[in-house]
Amino acid sequence: MKRTAATALTALVLAAALTACSSDDNTDAAPKKKPRPTTAPSASSPKAVADAQAAAGIPPEPNAAMKLGYLRALTGIDPDIVHGKEDKAVDRGRNQCQTIHNFPKDKPQQAKMAEMRFTSPSHPERFGKAKAAQIVEAVHTNLCPKF
């Protein structure tokens, strides 16, 4: 029993020694190159972001009066369009402005995109073509009248 324990202990010590010898911390080895830290890309300025959004057809965040008018218009069409998520409704409207910008004379395409974009838990299958056309008008009038 003593001999088995001694043999096991010797094997353990040898394994530890071999592991230590195989490390790269050898003083004769050439030093490893450390990766250079990279600088994070600078954040775009708010003006640059706004300019890029405008070029893409996304209007700036509406002011309080515009937002209120827009939300009232949507609620007038169907209260469930906003369904208590005003910021989400504004985001969807700003995205809809991009569709209006990209398809300025194509009312059917604008309505189709609004129909797909504006849903709610009670209307997961959309609000229908008639309400979608009204949503487009509400978006256009209140969020991006210049398009």
Three-state DSSP class for 125? coil
Q: What is the mean pLDDT of the chain?
A: 81
For residue 60, the Cα-to-chain-centroid distance in whole angstroms is: 17
Q: For position 135, what pLDDT does the model report?
A: 98
Cα dihedral 141→57→126→69 (10° resolution) = -30
Lowest mean pLDDT among 16-30, 39-53, 121-135: 16-30
Instruction: Give mean pLDDT, residues 134-147.
Output: 95
Lowest mean pLDDT among 35-44, 53-62, 72-81: 35-44
